[in-house]
Amino acid sequence: MPSVHAISYELLRRQGIAKIFGNPGSNELPFLKGMPADFEYILGLHEGVVTGMADGYALASGKPAFVNLHAAAGTGNAMGALTNAWYSHSPLVLTAGQQARSMIGVESMLANVDAPQLPRPLVKWSYEPACAEDTPRALSQAIHSANARPRGPVYVSIPHDDWQRETGDDARHLLARELHQAGAPQVAQVEQLALRLQSANNPVLVLGPEVDAEQANALAVALAERLKMPVWVAPSASRCPFPNRHPCFRGVLPAAIAGITEQLEGHDLVVVVGAPVFRYHKYAPGHYLPDGARLIHVTSDADEAARAPMGEAYVGSVHAMLEALLPHLQPSERPMPEALPAPGGVADEESRMAPANVFEAVNALAPKDAIYVKEATSTVEIFWERVEMRHPGSYFFPAAGGLGFGLPAAVGVQLARPERQVIALVGDGSANYAITALWSAAQYRVPVIFIILKNGTYGALRGFARHMQAEDAPGLDVPDIDFCALAKGYGVETVCASNRERLEAALTKGLAMDAPLLIEVPTLQT
Ligand code: TZD
Ligand code: CA
C-alpha cells in the first residue's frame, strides 16, 4: 500500500504541479522529506512573499499553484496576500503543516487550533482531513476546487504524522480524476443578449480581469469593433483585458460611484464583461448609472452577479458567451470611436524623474510582449496612458489593493512565463511589505527588472488625504530608504538612475541580463 506521501506527490504530478512555493517549519518536514527530484521547491523568506509568488505564478500560468505554509503563524503571515488572491480568482492550493494528531488537543507548540477557520473568509474551501487516509483525497478536492470556475484559493491543514501512514487501495482512483466544466451558454440567452446589444443606440463595453484570465481579449476586440463601441476597463483594474492603444479604448473607469456615472453619461446600454459591478474605492456617492441606461453583466462568478446593486446578469464562461454572441451580431453603422490623443510631454527635475517619463522610457525600450507587474499606487492612470499593452497577460496589479504583491508576484509571473520579460514597477512604499522577494529572485536567478519609483511618500494616501480633508494625518511619508543597499543585501544587482539617460542605460542592461536587476529611480510626487 503506498504512503500518503507517495500518493500525494503522484497526485500533484498528475495535476501538472511541479513547483512548491513554501516556507518550512518542523510540521512541514515530513512532507518535504524525500521530495521527488522532478519537483522544485521555491523558498520565500516570509509567507506573504511565498503566497505572492504563487499568486503571480497561478495568474500568469492559468494553472493551480501549490503553497506549503507553516502552521498558524505562517498562515497568518499569508493572509494579506490572500486578500489579493481571493479577488483575482487565483487558483492557489494552500497547505499548512499541523501538529501530530495526538498533540493538537493539548495545544502543543505549533498546533493550529481550529485550523480550517483561520484563513476564512478568503478561501473557497478550508479543511483538515479527519484521518490520515483522507489526506490524498482532500488534496485532490483542493486542486479541483481551486481550479473550478469561479476559481480561488483553498486551504488544507495536514497533521505531520499523516505523511508516513499508508493509504487505502482506492486512493489510486484519485490519480485519474479530471473535472470538466461545461461552459456553453443557452441559445435563447445568447439571442436575447444579441438583440439588446444590436438595438441599443449608444452601447458601451466595460471589461474586467476575467476577460484576460480566460484569454478572451481577442473576442472582446472583435465585439467592440463589430458594434463600434467605446471600451472602458472596469475600475480597480488588476489585469489588462483590452489593447490600450486600440481606437475603441477609453481608459480605466474611476473607482467611485459618481465618477463612473459621469464617464458613462449618454450611453443607453452598459455591458460589463468579466468584472464585478463594480469595485469602487473612493467614497463619492451618486447614482449607480446615468439616467436611462441599463446594465448587462456577464460573469462566471454567481456571487459577483448576485451582489451587484443594479443590472441584469448572465452567469457563465465569459469566453464561451463572447464566442457564442459574435456570430449573432451585425456590424454597426456607427462611426468607429476615435483613438485617444497621445498625452503631452512633462518635465523632469534635475535629479528626479516625472513618473510619466519613467513609463515613456520603459515603453520605448521594453519588448512588445513585456509583462508589467504594477504596484505604485499614485501613478496607475499615468501608466495606462504611457505604456502600450498588446497581448493577453500583460498586466498584473494587486486585486484587493493589498500591498506586498508587486515584488513577489513579479517573481512568480516570470517563473511562469520565462519567454517574456517581466518588469515590476513598484512604489517605495509598497516595496517594503515583501522586500525579501528580492532574495528569492536572486537565488533562483529570476530575471525580473524591478523599478522602484522613489518619491519618498505614500503618494496615493496623499491624494486621499486631500480628498478626505485629512492632510495633517501622520505616517504618510517614507523618506530615507536606500533600495540599492537593500537589494544588494539580498543579492540583487542594482543601479540608481536619476535621469532618463541613466534609466535607459539601466533598462538596456537589465534586458540583456539573465538575473534580476533593481533600478531605483527618484521620482516627483504627482
Ligand atoms: N497596507 C497594505 C497591506 N495595503 C495597503 N493598501 C495599505 C497599507 C494602504 N496604502 C494604499 O492603499 S496605497 C499606499 C498605502 C500605504 C501607498 C503606497 O505607496 P507607494 O506608491 O510608494 O507604493 P505611491 O505611488 O507613492 O502611492
Ligand atoms: Ca511612494
Q: 514-523: per-residue pLDDT in tens?
A: 999 999 999 9
Residue 198 has pLDDT above 80, yes or no: yes
- Closest Cα to atom 14 of ligand 1: 458
Judge whether 70 counts as a catalytic residue.
yes
Indicate whether residue 461 lines ligand 1 (CB < 6 A): yes
Judge whether 28 counts as a catalytic residue.
yes
Residue 65 has pLDDT above 80, yes or no: yes
- Closest Cα to atom 16 of ligand 1: 458
Residue 131 sits in a domain whose CATH number is: 3.40.50.970
Within-domain flag for 341: no
- Choice from 458, 480, 523 to test ligand 1 binding pocket (greatest atom count within 8 A of CB): 458
Q: Confirm if 194 and 222 have CB atoms less than 8 A apart.
A: no
Axis crossing angle, helix 318-325 with helix 187-199, rounded to the nearest 10 = 70
Query: Does residue 19 sit in the same domain as residue 93?
Result: yes
Listed residue (457, 371, 442, 526) closest to 44, CA to CA:
442
User: How close is the Cα of 460 to the center of ligand 1, in Å?
Assistant: 7
Q: Chain centroid to CA 524: how far?
A: 27
Catalytic residue among 3, 10, 25, 493: 25
Give the pLDDT score at 183: 75
Q: What is the mean pLDDT of residues 292-315?
A: 97
Within-domain flag for 349: no
Indicate whether residue 457 lines ligand 1 (CB < 6 A): yes
Query: Does residue 200 sit in the same domain as residue 318?
Result: yes
Q: What is the mean pLDDT of residues 185-194?
A: 96
Query: Does residue 369 sit in the same domain as residue 404?
Result: yes
- Say how many Å lie between the first and final Cα of the chain, rounded: 64
Give the pLDDT score at 252: 98
Query: Does residue 192 sit in the same domain as residue 172?
Result: no
- Choice from 377, 451, 453, 476 to test ligand 1 binding pocket (greatest atom count within 8 A of CB): 377
Query: Does residue 171 sit in the same domain as residue 218?
Result: no
Q: What is the mean pLDDT of residues 184-212?
A: 96
Query: Does residue 193 sit in the same domain as residue 289?
Result: yes
φ, ψ of residue 223 in degrees (nearest 5): -65, -45
Domain membership of residue 395 as a residue range:
355-522
Judge whether 126 counts as a catalytic residue.
no
Q: What is the mean pLDDT of residues 60-86?
A: 98
Which ranges in 270-317 belong to alpha helices (H)?
302-307
Q: What is the mean pLDDT of residues 19-46?
A: 98
Q: Which of 109, 144, 176 is the last residue of a domain?
A: 176
Judge whether 475 counts as a catalytic residue.
no
Q: What is the mean pLDDT of residues 90-113?
A: 97
Query: Does residue 412 sit in the same domain as residue 453?
Result: yes
Count how many domains the chain has: 3
Query: Does residue 151 sit in the same domain as residue 237?
Result: no
Q: pLDDT-based confidence at 31, cuts 50/70/90? A: very high
**H/E/C letters for each residue in 80-127?**
HHHHHHHHCCCCEEEEEEECCHHHHCCCCCCCCCCHHHCCCCCCCEEE
- 36: its cell numbers: 521527488
Catalytic residue among 5, 8, 46, 47: 47
Q: Which of 133, 150, 176 is the last residue of a domain?
A: 176
User: How close is the Cα of 522 to the center of ligand 2, in Å?
Assistant: 10
Residue 294 has pLDDT above 90, yes or no: yes
Query: Does residue 72 sit in the same domain as residue 169?
Result: yes
Q: Which atom of ligand 1 is nearest to the CA of 526?
A: 25
Query: Does residue 386 sit in the same domain as residue 294?
Result: no
Q: pLDDT-based confidence at 168, cuts 50/70/90? A: confident
Judge whether 430 counts as a catalytic residue.
no
Considering only CA atoms, give the Rg of the chain. 24
Residue 182 has pLDDT above 90, yes or no: no
Whole-number average pLDDT of the chain: 97
Q: 240-279: per-residue pLDDT in tens?
A: 999 999 999 999 999 999 999 999 999 999 999 999 999 9
Q: 314-346: per-residue pLDDT in tens?
A: 999 999 999 999 999 999 999 999 999 999 999
The Cα–Cα gap between 517 and 508 comes to 11
Query: Does residue 153 sit in the same domain as residue 222?
Result: no
Q: Which of 142, 176, 210 is the last residue of a domain?
A: 176
- β-partners of residue 298 are 273, 314
Which residues are found with C-beta within 5 Å of the ion, ligand 2?
427-429, 455, 459
Residue 95 has pLDDT above 90, yes or no: yes
User: How close is the Cα of 458 to the center of ligand 1, in Å?
Assistant: 6
Residue 303 sits in a domain whose CATH number is: 3.40.50.1220
Indicate whether residue 455 lines ligand 1 (CB < 6 A): yes
Query: Does residue 67 sit in the same domain as residue 134?
Result: yes
Within-domain flag for 382: yes
Indicate whether residue 84 lines ligand 1 (CB < 6 A): no
